[in-house]
Amino acid sequence: MKFKYHKYREMMLAAIVASLRRVQPEIEKIPFPPNPLIKDRPISGIAVYLMPGDRFGLYFRSWEEMHEIKYSLGDWEHQFFFAEGEVPEIDVAQEYCASLLEHLDEDEEASQAVVNLAYIATAEALLDPVVTQELTSLSIEARGCFGGIAPEGVERMVFNEYGDVSGVFNYCEHVSLNRYLKSAMRRSSWWRL
């Protein structure tokens, strides 16, 4: 069985959009700042909590939490986890990854490669313009990507909770940096020797 990266990315995009729509009533309860000039909810970050083939959740970081507990997802006030069957799009993506990981159970190196690809695909999905539109519809500042490379507004995060790459490695930053480097190399010849 082979990991189909683009297929999984599209599954995760559908899962993220569906989960954002599912939590919309809760997000709409977050009050706007008292300043009438500020038109966005006080959200400074969104993170997808993912254990490929197992768990999925969304975290939203408030403006106040941005400085004190910037990457401590468990301490953020707004956390949403989804039970199996609650959001069918999540189930489809998780079942796909779980079946592949089960197939690779004996091959730890291949399993770790699939897990890393799953995190990268999830980060790409979280950076997708469709997610930007969903966040904007929730009055969360998400102006899209600067030159199609890095998102502006709300910080987007996908972390690997286990494995060789742990801690505060943000896959969204990795994807954005790769996009930037590819764009820079296409536009200039300085890198060709």
Judge whether residue 188 has pLDDT over 70: no
User: What letter represents residue 36's amino acid?
Assistant: P
74: tokens are 């468990």
Percent of the chain with pLDDT over 70: 82
Which tens digit of pLDDT belongs to each residue from 103-120?
A: 877 778 888 888 888 999
CA distances, 99 to each of 1, 21, 52, 102 (Å): 9, 27, 10, 5
Residue 161, phi then psi, degrees to nearest 5: -80, -15
Predicted local distance difference test score (pLDDT) of residue 102 = 84
Q: What crossing angle do the helices spanning 5-27 and 108-126 adopt, rounded to 10°?
A: 50
pLDDT of residue 165: 43
Mean pLDDT of all residues in the chain? 82
Would the pTM count as exceeding 0.75?
Answer: yes
Residues 160-172: tens digit of each pLDDT? 765 444 456 788 8
Q: Which residue has the higher pLDDT, 100 or 13?
A: 13
- Cα–Cα distance between 11 and 13 in angstroms, integer? 5
